[in-house]
Amino acid sequence: MNRAAILWRVASILVAAGFIAAWQLIANLHLVSPVFLPGPDRAWAALVRGFSSGDLASKLFGTLEHMAYGWLAASIAGIALGALIGSSRMMRAYVAPSLEFLRPLPVSAIIPVAIAMLGLTQGMALFVIAFGAIWPIMLATIHGFAAVEPRLYEVARSLQMSRAAIIGKIALPSALPDILAGMRLSLTVALILSVVCEILAGLDGLGQWVLLSARAFRSADLFAGVILLGATGYLTSIAVSLVEQRLLAWQAAAR
């Protein structure tokens, strides 16, 4: 890291520290009632207490589980469907209008449908999360497959590569930057929908923890849950970015 980069990093940490200090100040001055707004000190204490009793860890694990399963299901289905649609011009022409109708549909609108059909179950949560998270992945995959350099297909033809080899060695790696970007986007969607499903269906997870804490006016616990959710979103996104950098090292070489 060079000097300028270090300075920028320090500045960003200072800004974050400033926000926390302002939060503490507002809490200490009782600008907002402590019933609703705990200071960062109390939120931190609640976080430590929650983890030492083991409650919070199990809730965090519940949310991570919902998120991971839904996201993985969305990724597998999204890449498979996207590849199928994106690699054929005819499929794109047939399916695109239906996709355009389904895509802007708010996922929250299908939750009642999912509950009616699947009940307040883990299966319902998996379906809702996967349904919401599939769009960024599938649309990115379609775009990635449609944008493969035609010259590469000619190279593949002159080498007499099999259809499977063309998909695995040409189309998929070429679409990978798009696919990974879509997967990163849908990670956030999966987290949001995990929390929504936990709140609506009372499934074990941070969503439920946050809801129950709010109802019991345990604001410190509430904030501990919110902070944990923020950290989950941040850290999973960083993890995917790291994988992305690793897989797309060849793009860095181009710069």
Partner 1 sequence: MSVVARIIEARAARRQKTLIAFNAATLRLGGKTIIENLDLEVRPGEFLCIVGASGCGKTTALRLAAGLYRPTSGAVTFDGEEITEPRREVAIVFQDYGKALLPWRTAAGNISLALEASRVPARERSARIEALLRKVGLPGHADKYPTEMSGGMQQRLQIARCLAQEPTTLLMDEPFGALDAMTRQGLQDEVLSLTQASQTTVVFVTHDLDEAIYLGDRVVGLLPHPGRIGIELDVDLPRPRDQLATREHPEFLRLRRQLFDFIKASEH
Binding site for partner 1 (CB under 8 A): 149, 151-152, 154-155, 157-161, 165, 169-170, 173-174, 176, 248, 250-251, 253-254
Considering the complex, state which of residue 16 and residue 165 has its C-beta at the smaller distance from partner 1: 165
Spatial contact of 183 and 134, defined as CB atoms under 8 Å apart: no
Burial of 128 (0-12, 13-18, 19+ CB in 10 A): buried
In this complex, which beta carbon is closest to partner 1, that of residue 171 or of residue 206? 171
Of 103 and 157, the one with the shorter C-beta distance to partner 1 is: 157
Cα(240)–Cα(242) distance, rounded to whole angstroms? 5
Nearest residue (CB) to partner 1, 64 versus 152:
152
- Measured CA to CA in angstroms, residue 41 lies from 47, 62, 87, 221, 223 at distances of 10, 26, 54, 12, 11
* Least distance in angstroms from the C-beta of 155 to partner 1: 5
Contacts of 45 (CB under 8 A, 6+ apart): 220
Site of tokens 């690699």: 87
Q: For residue 253, what are its two tokens? A: 């070489």
Would you list the DSSP string of 156-195?
Answer: HHHTT--HHHIIIIIIHHHHHHHHHHHHHHHHHHHHHHHH
Min separation Cβ 180 and partner 1, Å: 12
Nearer to partner 1, 115 or 161 (CB): 161
Q: Smallest distance, Å, CB 83 to partner 1?
A: 17
- Taking the complex as a whole, the smallest distance from the CB of residue 149 to partner 1 amounts, in Å, to 5
* Distance in Å, CB of 166 to partner 1, minimum: 10
Closest to 222 in 3D by CA, of 236, 233, 232, 207: 207
List phi, psi (to 5°) of 42.
Answer: -70, -40
Give the nearest distance from C-beta 156 to partner 1 in angstroms: 8
| Nearer of residues 124 and 171 to partner 1, judged by Cβ | 171
Residue 188: which of 122, 250, 143, 136 has the closest Cα?
A: 136
